[in-house]
Amino acid sequence: MSENSSPVALTVVGLAHYTRADQEEILGDSDDPFGVAWTGLTWLPKEDHFGIRHDGRLVAHAGLLRVPVAIGDTETEVVGVGGVAVAPDMQGQGLARLVVTAALEHARTMGPQHALLFCLPPLMPLYQHLGWHPLDTDVLVEQPEGRLATMPLRTMVTPLRDDVRWPSGPVRLFSLPM
Ligand SMILES: CC(C)(COP(=O)(O)OP(=O)(O)OC[C@H]1O[C@@H](n2cnc3c(N)ncnc32)[C@H](O)[C@@H]1OP(=O)(O)O)[C@@H](O)C(=O)NCCC(=O)NCCS
């Protein structure tokens, strides 16, 4: 194998901040890099950020945020996962797996029993491949001015401990979606 074709060792690091410019470094300056503008929803920024740098450039990101939620009669919190992004020229090489796995390792230290994310239907197989499960119930999320919206994207969850099961019942986030 020549030196140039050696696999590159990529590691995930915690990011002290994640700005619009950081996102543009990964995905470019498209108005709608996640393809969700059609939902008209307002989203929450994430609080904890994980990234991968390659040659000094940020090429992947995943963000985390604890959000309060009701699942049936249970009021609890989940770790919301969002802003999962890999630079177009680096996609298909396992970077999303790497950065999401590292983010979930941290999520296991945050307290909640489950992580939750929203995605477009074509991304469900990718997240299922990474161990996530789709929810088949409606999910209500808050929007500005106290409005409630039914999430039009797919909701996926994954346990953060070995001994937990997702409770049954409708799901309502007590926050904007993340
Ligand atoms: C979605 C996105 C993050 C995926 O990044 P990526 O680096 O190409 O993904 P990976 O290569 O890590 O793929 C993760 C795993 O899913 C698998 N996979 C990918 N597409 C799949 C599919 N359609 N069905 C099943 N598995 C799939 C991959 O083979 C890989 O598995 P492996 O690690 O066992 O080989 C990237 O395309 C992106 O940034 N898109 C634009 C922004 C966006 O839409 N983000 C999602 C927000 S929810």
- Cα–Cα–Cα angle for 55, 88, 36, nearest 5°? 130
C-alpha 15 to ligand 1 mean position (Å): 21
CATH number of 3-173: 3.40.630.30
**What is the residue type of 144?**
P
Specify the pLDDT at position 7. 59
What's the distance, CA 55 to chain centroid?
24
> 171 forms bridges with which residues in the sheet?
71, 139
Pocket lining for ligand 1, CB < 6 angstroms: 33-34, 84-86, 91-97, 119, 123, 125-126, 129-130
Query: Which atom of ligand 1 is nearest the CA belonging to 87?
Result: 39
The count of other CB atoms within 10 Å of the CB of residue 29 is 10
Query: In angstroms, rounded to a whole number, what is the distance separating the alpha carbons of residues 16 and 72?
Result: 36
The count of other CB atoms within 10 Å of the CB of residue 50 is 26
CA distances from 154 to 2, 88, 104, 150, 170 (A): 43, 23, 19, 11, 14
178 residues of the chain, pLDDT tens digit each = 444 445 567 999 999 999 999 999 999 999 999 999 999 999 999 999 999 999 999 999 999 999 999 999 999 999 999 999 999 999 999 999 999 999 999 999 999 999 999 999 999 999 999 999 999 999 999 999 999 999 999 999 999 999 999 999 999 999 999 9
For the entire predicted model, the pTM comes to: 0.94
Specify the pLDDT at position 9. 78
Query: In angstroms, rounded to a whole number, what is the distance separating the alpha carbons of residues 40 and 8?
Result: 39
- Atom 20, ligand 1: which residue's CA is nearest? 126
Specify the pLDDT at position 3. 46
C-alpha 124 to ligand 1 mean position (Å): 10
C-alpha 10 to ligand 1 mean position (Å): 16
- Atom 48, ligand 1: which residue's CA is nearest? 119
Specify the pLDDT at position 8. 64
Tokens of residue 24, six digits: 């543009």
